[in-house]
Amino acid sequence: MGDDDFEHLERLVSELGAHGLLARVVQNQNGRRFVRVINPNATSLSENVTCRPATVSDMPDWWYCWSWGERMHTADDPAGAATKVARVLAAVVE
């Protein structure tokens, strides 16, 4: 992957921080980057978000993807993606 995914991931980190989530870009041993996201109020609630180029030409260029590989949101809207992640990682208050 080039620097494009890093820039998209960094923008997502900023937006996730605005939602009160802890997030940082991590690079694994294979060189793949992802955003590690943790809800600081419930640290067992976490997710790893990747950013991948589209494989079909009529789709947006880059996508944020859930840890299981499903597309979540277009990378040109990191705020929208952060809102989805924040909703999934929201702690349920009894």
23-65 pLDDT, tens digit per residue, is 999 999 998 999 999 999 988 999 999 999 887 666 668 999 9
pLDDT of residue 1: 45
3 state SS for 11-76: HHHHHHHHCCCEEEEEECCCCCEEEEEECCCCCCCEEEEEEEECCCCCCCCEEEECCCCCEEEECC
pLDDT of residue 54: 81
Q: Do the domain assignments include residue 34?
A: yes
The number of distinct structural domains making up the chain is: 1
Q: What mean pLDDT do residues 8-14 have? A: 96
How far is the CA of 47 from the CAs of 2, 16, 32, in angstroms?
A: 23, 12, 16
- Does this model's pTM top 0.85? yes
- Measured in residues, the chain has a length of 94
Kindly tell me if the per-residue pLDDT of 94 is higher than 80: no
In single-letter form, the type of residue at position 40 comes to: P
Could you list the residue range(s) of the whole structural domain that residue 9 is in?
A: 3-88
Kindly tell me if the per-residue pLDDT of 4 is higher than 80: no
Q: Do the domain assignments include residue 35?
A: yes
Q: Do the domain assignments include residue 93?
A: no
Q: Do the domain assignments include residue 62?
A: yes
pLDDT of residue 36: 97
Mean pLDDT estimate for the chain: 89
